[in-house]
Amino acid sequence: MLSNIRIVLVQTYHPGNIGASARAMKTMGLNDLVLVNPRCFPDPEASQLAAGAEEVIDNARVVGTLAEAVADCVQVVGASARLRSLPLPHYDEPEAMGRELVDTAITDPVALVFGRERFGLTSDEIRCCSHQVSIPANPDYGILNLSQAVQVLCYETYKAWRLRPEQATDRLPPVEERQPTREQLSHFHAHLSRVMQVSGFLTQPHAQTEARLQALFARAQPSRKELSLLRGLLRSLEESATHKKS
C-alpha cells in the first residue's frame, strides 16, 4: 500500500532539500521519489542530507514534466501554502488527506506533489492535481521549508496507514468503480475541448473555460465507468457535428 504512494518534487532548487526529503520519506516508510526537472541532481549535498536514505535518492526517477510524473496516478494531491483560484477539492486538514490517500493507494498509485522553494507550483501544475492540501500554520509565517512540508505530509500518510482499521481491506472496488488515472482524464479533457470546437461552442481553444471544466470534473470525481460513458457521449456528439458540417 505504501509502495503505491509517490512523492514528487517539482524543480527543486537546492539539492540538500532533495536529500532531506528522501530522509523524511524513509522515516515514514515511503520509497518512491520522482523529481521533475531538478536544478542539480545527482549531487553530493543531496546524498549527504539523505543520511541513511541514499537508496531513496539512488532509485529516484527524473522526468521532464509533472504530467509525466503522475500519468498513472488516480489521486494527485498538490501541497500548497496558498489557496489558488482553481476550485479543486481542498484538504484543510492533512489528517483527512492521509486517510483518503491511503485508502486509494490500496488499489492504485497516488502522488503527493511539492513545489519549488521560490514560487511553489504553477497554475498549470496545480491543474495536473486532483486535490490540494495545506498544512495549517502561523497565519503570519505559514510557509514551511520544502523538506519539512514533505515530513509533515509523509507523517500523516504513515499515521493513516498505521491506524487503518483492519476490516477496511475486506472489500476492494472493481476496476470500473475506481477513479481514472490522470492520463485517462487528460485524454477525456482533450476530447471535450475538440468537441467544443467542432460543435461551434468555442471558435478557438479557450484556456479559462477548459480550466473551469477541469475543476468541475475534478470535483465530481467520475469513476472509470462514468468516464467511459462520457467518452461515448462525446464520440456521438463529435460524429453528429462532423456530419452536419459535411
Residue 224 and residue 179 in contact, taking contact as beta carbons nearer than 8 Å: yes
Decide: is 202 part of the binding site for ligand SAH (CB under 6 A).
no
Q: SS3 of 212, please?
A: helix
By CB under 6 A, tell whether 62 contacts ligand SAH: no
**Closest CB to ligand SAH among residues 108, 117:** 117
Strands 5-10 and 75-79: unpaired
Closer residue to ligand SAH, CB minimum distance, 60 or 113: 113
| Nearest approach, Cβ of residue 92 and ligand SAH (Å) | 11
Q: Measured from the CB of residue 145, what is the shortest distance to ligand SAH in angstroms?
A: 7
What is the spatial distance between Cα 19 and Cα 26, in angstroms, rounded to a whole number? 11
Q: Closest Cα partner for 129 from 182, 84, 206, 85?
A: 182
187: number of Cβ within 10 Å: 14
Q: Which CB atom, from 68 or from 117, has the smaller least distance to ligand SAH?
A: 117
Rounded to a whole number of angstroms, the minimum distance from the CB of residue 114 to ligand SAH is 4
Region 204-243 residues binding ligand SAH, contact defined as CB under 6 A: none
Span interacting with ligand SAH, options 38-46, 48-56, 116-124, 165-173, rule CB under 6 A = 116-124
C-alpha cell at 13: 532548487
- The contact mask relative to ligand SAH for 134-153 (x = CB under 6 A, - = no) is xx-x----xxx-x--x----
Residue 66, interface with ligand SAH (CB under 6 A)?
no
Q: What is the 3-state secondary structure (H, E, C) of 36-60?
A: ECCCCCCCHHHHHHHCCCHHHHHCC
Q: Which is nearer to ligand SAH, 79 or 218 (CB)?
A: 79
Is residue 125 within 8 A of residue 67, CB to CB? The reply is: no
**Residues between 68 and 107 that touch ligand SAH (CB under 6 A):** 79-82
How far is residue 88's CA from residue 132's CA, in Å, rounded to a whole number? 7
Give the footprint of ligand SAH on this chain (CB under 6 A): 79-82, 114-115, 117-121, 134-135, 137, 142-144, 146, 149
